[in-house]
A and B are shown apart, each in its own frame.
Chain A
Amino acid sequence: MAKIVVDVMLKPEILDPQGKAVAAALPRLGFTFANDVRQGKRFEIEVDGEPTAAQLADVEKAAEKLLSNPVIENFTVRVEK
């Protein structure tokens, strides 16, 4: 069984209010390491056996149609074993 991972992030130029809120909260809790934080989401999709090229192409399509909003977000698809 393999896992296909889709990471979705807001495009770098787009304002990320959630990331900004996290970045502002960190120093309040004493964590001073962060210059900036961007928050995204991650999908883990389980498939039987080694993912085929066709399956990956389908995941790409699904990521574009459903998992992400391509107007404001980018995504990456990769296989995790």
Chain B
Amino acid sequence: MSLDTVATAQANPDATQPFAELGLKPDEYARIKEILGRRPTSSELAMYSVMWSEHCSYKSSKVHLKQFGEKAVKTDALLVGIGENAGVVDVGQGYAVTFKIESHNHPSFIEPYQGAATGVGGIVRDILTMGARPIAVMDPLRFGPADAPDTRRVLPGIVAGVGGYGNCLGLPNIGGEVVFDETYLGNPLVNALCVGVMKHSDIKLAKAAGAGNLVVLYGAKTGGDGIGGVSVLASETFESKGPAKRPAVQVGDPFVEKVLIECSLEIFAEDLVVGIQDLGGAGLSCATSELASGGSGGMTVQLDKVPLRDPSLSPEEILMSESQERMCAIVEPSKIARFLEICEKWDVTVTVIGEVTDGNHLEITWNGELIVDVPPRTVAHDGPVYNRPLAQPAYIDAVAKQVINLPIPSTADEIKETVLKLAATPNLADKSWVTDQYDRYVQGNSIQSQPDDSGMVRIDEKTHLGVAVATDANANWSYLNPYEGAKLALAEASRNIATAGAKPLAVTNCLNFGSPEDPGVMWQFAETVRGLADGCLEMGLPVTGGNVSFYNQTGSVAILPTPVIGVLGVIDDVRTRTPMSFDRAGLDLYLLGETQNDLAGSEWAYMHNQRGGVAPTADLQREMRLIELLVAGRTKKIFTAAHDLSQGGLAATLTEMVLRYNTGAIVQLEDVGISLLSETPGRVVVAIEPAQTQALSKEAADQKITLIKIGTTGGDSLVINDAKISLTELRTAHTETFVKLFG
């Protein structure tokens, strides 16, 4: 076996290297040579290739994402901003909350169960790495048409994977989305969000400071997971024959992760680490180079000390392995004994693999021979940056000119048929088939979860302080107008927090797009980021971090631009939250916000294969006034219930409300068809005791929000004008869709 050392690279500068197979462009390879002043060793090449990949380096998105920093609002609530593993926000009472969303789209298409499961595992470790105890997860999912054979393959596997991993960890899954669209066929989107809580003083950062401090790897042993790509190197560099083909699929072990969480939290509690980083994409390459860059830059690692599950792994493969459930810590020598003791208590494999030095190079050795000698920043942060060409795609103008022509119900029979159809369509149908596979209540702090507007968990059992999180994207609107689409998703997620009476505080995002090499897709992306940055600035919400997933496309067909926006809010007492529905008769129902003829991008249009028209414009000033009103409605105890209007318009909102506690409603609407189907943003249905009428009118007038009384609660039917739909038939329509499709 020949080892490609730094000495070999110097002695043999002209050896051909498979940089193209590793995804590096010729000029990128030339730049690596320029940085190092020689050709890279195969291990260095492996590290650069994976760290400079789109996934790790954000090379196509960086130039746009910096707007999140430039346009950012100054807020004291943001304790840790973009750039660390996850952002941290102050939620009061000495608590800080960290949350982040990431994609695991491609792995979940290849192997749905493990792909989705390791997606959950990865985001949970990101949150843990900040020093926080993970307390809840959420999973926005998107699939091809519900009746497509491939959807039947991936959906059950993905749902089982999310549930399997999260349930084993004992983390409640408090919400998410399940959306179907043909562009996701072959490109399912699996986004995973995790929320964690800690005290301010517990925040941990990814930095390797202090010469002489030890680099410690702990958690699972390293195997050949997720290193499909690097097998090129192994096969070209070595004559020996390892397993013929390394899998690109990682298999997770949630019980190991659970132990890793508890072990890490005990280590944090005793303040035993200087810096910490989890091992996710790009494994040790990423962890060592990022930790070293976070400090002065000097670090030595003895790679042969890494405990292996598969002894045939080459050094290149060890550097690239994406084996799950591993963490890398920087520990002062005086604290290492206690660190090892805690790991032993939890039965966690732990190994000192290196040391922080006062130099500025990351040096990795293999049985004493130097195989990597690089300035770590060049690996972790100074990757290529592309200002890719962007151009407004031709479809944008074309769809804007399209006139939407949809059947609009007016008679009692038509209204009934429309409401039942919407209740049953896969995008709006009851998602219990999915969420019943998730543990929503474990830990006993879940206040809200699916089908509520947002997920809510209590973080202090004495004061009842809580946080609410919602994720939203409306890809139909983003397709018509990505700038407005991003703002509208931000508005919707914020509104979903506020309906319960929580105050939006911070934003995370998972931007799912097609290929950045397509100027049209790049334009969608740039417009989305511009819209989101402008929207966050206007609403005074900081972006705390996020994730970009490109190359979600089959052939030349990209997915709809899908910016999933996560908003986190805080509520001082979860017991006072406004529920999403009513459980008794005699309440008055009001619609907050004006209804326009907004059918473009609506669910009703989608059901009739009409994708054209002009998306609504986001009025964030009005959204913010609406949020004020919703929060005031809770604190002043005006509302009995409040529920957001979004996909499916008023028809969907009323359906969800009457079914929630099996209490009917009698509603009288003008222009009934448009009233039921329009998806004008910025609207909420509230239920109040009649005695609260004046208080509601005053609050609505103060915030200049249109207020229309639409009906009253009670009975065993949903009555809309002359149409009467019994709750039984509405429930059947709403609940049988998923069972029929997947059950």
Q: Which residues of A contact B (CB under 8 A)?
A: 10-17, 20-21, 69, 71-72
- A selection of 8 A-B contacts at a CB cut-off of 8 Å is A13-B310, A14-B247, A15-B220, A15-B223, A15-B324, A17-B255, A17-B256, A72-B251
Known contacts A71-B110, A71-B247, A72-B247; is-contact A13 B223 (Cβ 8 Å): yes
A69 to B309, CA, bound (A): 22
Known: A12-B310, A15-B323. A20 touches B243 (CB 8 A): no
Given contacts A13-B225, A13-B243, A15-B323, contact A72 B255 (CB under 8 A): no
Are A12 and B256 closer than 8 Å at their CB atoms? no
Residues of A within 8 A of B323 (CB): 15
A33 to B273, CA, bound (A): 38
Residues of A within 8 A of B252 (CB): 15
Which residues from chain B contact A17 at a C-beta distance below 8 Å? 251, 253, 255-256
Q: A69-B111, A71-B111, A72-B114 are in contact. Are A14 and B249 (CB under 8 A)?
A: yes
A11: B residues at CB distance < 8 A: 243, 247
Complex: how many Å from CA A11 to CA B324? 17
CB-CB under 8 A from B324, the residues of chain A are 15
17 other A-B residue contacts (CB within 8 Å) besides A16-B251, A69-B111: A13-B225, A13-B243, A13-B247, A13-B310, A14-B251, A15-B250, A15-B251, A15-B252, A15-B323, A17-B251, A17-B253, A17-B256, A20-B253, A71-B110, A71-B247, A72-B249, A72-B251
Main secondary structure of the interface of A (DSSP, over half): loop
B251 CB contacts on chain A under 8 angstroms: 10, 14-17, 72
Of chain B, the residue at the smallest CB distance from A69 is B111
Residues of chain A contacted by B111 (CB below 8 angstroms)? 69, 71-72
Is B246 in contact with chain A by the CB < 8 A criterion? yes
Beta-carbon nearest neighbor of A18 in chain B: B253
In the assembled complex, the CB of B594 is this many whole angstroms from the nearest CB of chain A, namely 51
Asked if B224 CB lies within 8 Å of chain A CBs, one says: yes
Closest chain-A Cβ to B173's Cβ sits at a distance in Å of 21
Q: What are the 10 closest A-B residue pairs judged by CB atoms, nearest first?
A: A13-B224, A17-B253, A15-B251, A71-B111, A14-B251, A13-B243, A72-B249, A71-B249, A13-B310, A15-B223
Are B246's CB and A13's CB within 8 A? yes
**A12 and B243 contacting across the interface, CB-CB below 8 Å:** yes
Complex CA distance for A72 and B249, rounded to whole angstroms? 7
Please name all residues of chain B whose beta carbon is closer than 8 Å to the beta carbon of A15 when the two chains form the complex: 220, 223, 225, 250-253, 309, 323-324
Report the minimum CB–CB distance from B308 to chain A (whole Å).
11
**Interface 1/0s, chain B 251-290, versus A by CB < 8 A?**
1110110000000000000000000000000000000000
Q: Which residue of B lies closest to A16 (CB)?
A: B251
Min CB distance, B150 to chain A, in Å?
A: 14
Q: How many angstroms between the C-alpha atoms of A44 and B111 in the bound complex?
A: 26
In the complex, what distance in Å separates the CA atom of A78 from the CA atom of B111?
27
Q: Which partner residue on chain B sits nearest A21 by CB separation?
A: B255
Contacts of A21 on B, CB cut-off 8 Å? 255
> 1/0 per position for B99-123, CB-CB distance to A under 8 A?
0000000000011001000000000
Considering only CB atoms, which chain A residue lies closest to B253 in the complex? A17
Shortest distance in angstroms between B279's beta carbon and chain A's nearest beta carbon?
A: 14
Render B291-318 as a binary contact track against A, CB cut-off 8 A, 1 for contact: 0000000000000000001100000000
Q: Across the interface, name the chain B residue whose C-beta is closest to A71.
A: B111
Tell me the minimal C-beta distance from B646 to chain A in angstroms: 36
Interchain CA distance A24-B83 in the complex, whole Å: 39
Contact residues in A for B246 (Cβ distance below 8 Å): 13
CA distance A45 to B713 in the complex (A): 60
Q: Which residues of B contact A13 (CB under 8 A)?
A: 223-225, 243, 246-247, 310
Task: Return the chain A residue nearest B310 by Cβ.
Answer: A13
Cα–Cα distance between A73 and B475 once the two chains are bound (Å): 36
Which residue on A lies nearest to B313, using beta carbons?
Answer: A13
* Chain A neighbourhood of B250, CB < 8 A: 15
